[in-house]
């Protein structure tokens, strides 16, 4: 398996987001230990998937318990679920709730979500609903989780193949970003996470995009670029925590991207989240040209760059019809009308744009060529 390693070591130790902090590097585990001791949690559940249990759990416990003067190891439980989006559902949530009940977890308990976007999404949802809410900490182990899924207080599960259709807004007590976890994941997973970094650069600024466009392989990603991507999202969610305004910018590429992901979920062609978003970005960049006059040569240039990291998918006419039909479930809709986030130019997104079926069909034709 082709594994990934960041080139630089972050010097930033923490950043603050509203009521919680993001801590970076191995020193962050001392902050987590102090939080556990200070709040006198009675029980702790570490939620993992089977991959992070195998590759990350032992390392995490070693870091957390390196000087366990308070014997918190005696109150730690672990629950693991199957890796993959198919586990992010109501039935799996019920099983975790039942585990918490059977093992006597009360309100003064803590959940530590150790994994990628799947784990931080479902773990945050479980935490925010069990006993009307218990504390949780996110420790993302994937690039996508670090730059996107774990940040901002969104939690969620899927229902009937509809992406994140059930969820809450709930902030973690803290987030730990430890780049050493990225040694354990595949190039495919890194490419998936890089999709969100591309999106962040396009909605942020020309200077940010100029740095991203120079990346020819994900092996060239540096911690500095990861940090800049994190800060792009942080600066947006700080000013719009519940997605009533500018946080909608983060949905660029996601209106069609989520519909594609939902359409292919649980099929032989199932895509990772970021793989779907890369396709969604190409489609919505084309529509940005049609609706917002985004320069077509620029759109073509970005398409070529995205395709370095994107898995090519062949969509039949029936696929496209079903994908368009799924747009009626999009969370940004008003009166059942899908509303898109599009670009006027790099760094200038606009939300609330109505797009015709013809524009979408033409976008898929552009994607195929």
Note whether 45 and 121 are same-domain residues: yes
Note whether 280 and 208 are same-domain residues: yes
pLDDT of 5 > 70? The answer is no
Note whether 176 and 239 are same-domain residues: no
Note whether 209 and 350 are same-domain residues: yes
Across the range 324-345, mean pLDDT stands at 93
Across the range 105-124, mean pLDDT stands at 97
pLDDT of 33 > 60? The answer is yes
Residue 8 vs residue 25, higher pLDDT? 25
24 pairs with which residues across the strands? Answer: 177
End residue of a domain, out of 125, 159, 184: 184
Q: What CATH number does the domain containing 35 carry? A: 3.40.50.1970
Q: What percent of the chain has pLDDT over 70?
A: 97
Note whether 150 and 206 are same-domain residues: no
pLDDT at 8: 42
User: Is residue 153 within 8 Å of 160, Cβ to Cβ?
Assistant: no
Note whether 289 and 166 are same-domain residues: no
Q: What percent of the chain has pLDDT over 90?
A: 88
End residue of a domain, out of 184, 199, 220: 184
- Local confidence band at 64 (pLDDT 50, 70, 90 cut-offs): very high
- Local confidence band at 7 (pLDDT 50, 70, 90 cut-offs): very low
Residues 6+ apart with CB under 8 A from 243: none
Instruction: Give the Cα-Cα-Cα angle 190, 191, 196 (nearest 5 degrees).
Output: 95
pLDDT at 331: 85
Note whether 143 and 236 are same-domain residues: no
pLDDT at 98: 98
In a domain, 3, yes or no: no
End residue of a domain, out of 184, 201, 226: 184
Across the range 95-105, mean pLDDT stands at 98
Note whether 257 and 342 are same-domain residues: yes
Q: What CATH number does the domain containing 216 carry? A: 1.20.1090.10
Structural domain for 75, as ranges: 14-184
- Local confidence band at 2 (pLDDT 50, 70, 90 cut-offs): very low
- For the purposes of burial, counting CB atoms within 10 Å of the CB of 249, is it exposed (0-12), middle (13-18) or buried (19 or more)? buried
Across the range 137-145, mean pLDDT stands at 97
Residue 28's CB is within 10 A of a number of other CB atoms, namely 21
pLDDT at 17: 83
In a domain, 7, yes or no: no
Tens-digit pLDDT profile for residues 165-196:
999 999 999 999 999 999 888 999 999 999 99
Tens-digit pLDDT profile for residues 11-24:
557 888 878 999 99
Note whether 271 and 332 are same-domain residues: yes
Residue 358's CB is within 10 A of a number of other CB atoms, namely 9
For the chain, the farthest-separated pair of C-alpha atoms sits apart, in whole angstroms, at 64
Note whether 356 and 255 are same-domain residues: yes
pLDDT at 12: 58
Note whether 129 and 246 are same-domain residues: no
Into how many domains does the chain fold?
Answer: 2
Note whether 212 and 88 are same-domain residues: no
Residues 6+ apart with CB under 8 A from 144: 116, 117, 189, 192, 193, 195, 196, 273, 274
pLDDT of 356 > 90? The answer is yes
């Amino acid at each position: 398996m082709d594994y990934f390693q960041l080139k630089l070591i972050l010097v930033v130790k923490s950043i603050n987001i509203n009521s919680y902090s993001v801590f970076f590097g191995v020193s962050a585990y001392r902050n987590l230990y102090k939080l556990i001791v200070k709040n006198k949690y009675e029980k702790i559940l570490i939620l993992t998937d089977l991959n992070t249990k195998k590759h990350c759990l032992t390392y995490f416990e070693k870091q957390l318990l390196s000087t366990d003067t308070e014997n918190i190891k005696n109150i730690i439980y672990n629950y693991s679920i199957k890796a993959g989006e198919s586990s992010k559902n109501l039935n799996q949530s019920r099983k975790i709730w039942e585990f918490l009940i059977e093992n006597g977890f009360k309100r003064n308990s803590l959940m530590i979500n150790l994994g990628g976007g799947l784990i931080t999404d479902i773990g945050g949802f479980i935490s925010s609903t069990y006993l009307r809410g218990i504390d949780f900490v996110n420790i993302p182990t994937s690039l996508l989780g670090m730059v996107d899924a774990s940040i901002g207080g969104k939690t969620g599960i899927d229902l009937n193949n509809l992406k994140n259709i059930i969820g809450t807004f709930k902030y973690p007590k803290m987030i730990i970003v430890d780049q050493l976890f990225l040694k354990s994941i595949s190039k495919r997973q890194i490419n998936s996470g890089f999709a969100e970094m591309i999106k962040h650069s396009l909605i942020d600024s020309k200077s940010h995009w100029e740095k991203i466009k120079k990346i020819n392989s994900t092996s060239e990603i540096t911690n500095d670029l990861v940090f800049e991507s994190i800060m792009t999202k942080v600066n947006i969610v700080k000013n719009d925590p519940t997605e009533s305004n500018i946080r909608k910018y983060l949905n660029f590429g996601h209106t069609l991207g989520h519909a594609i992901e939902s359409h292919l979920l649980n099929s032989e062609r199932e895509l990772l989240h970021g793989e779907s978003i890369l396709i969604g970005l190409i489609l919505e960049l084309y529509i940005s040209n049609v609706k917002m006059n985004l320069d077509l040569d620029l759109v073509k240039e970005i398409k070529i760059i995205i395709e370095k990291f994107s898995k090519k998918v062949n969509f039949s006419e029936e696929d496209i019809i079903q994908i368009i039909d799924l747009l009626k479930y999009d969370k940004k809709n008003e009166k059942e009308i899908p509303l898109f986030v599009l670009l006027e130019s790099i760094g200038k997104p606009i939300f609330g744009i109505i797009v015709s079926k013809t524009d979408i069909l033409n976008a898929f034709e552009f994607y195929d060529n």
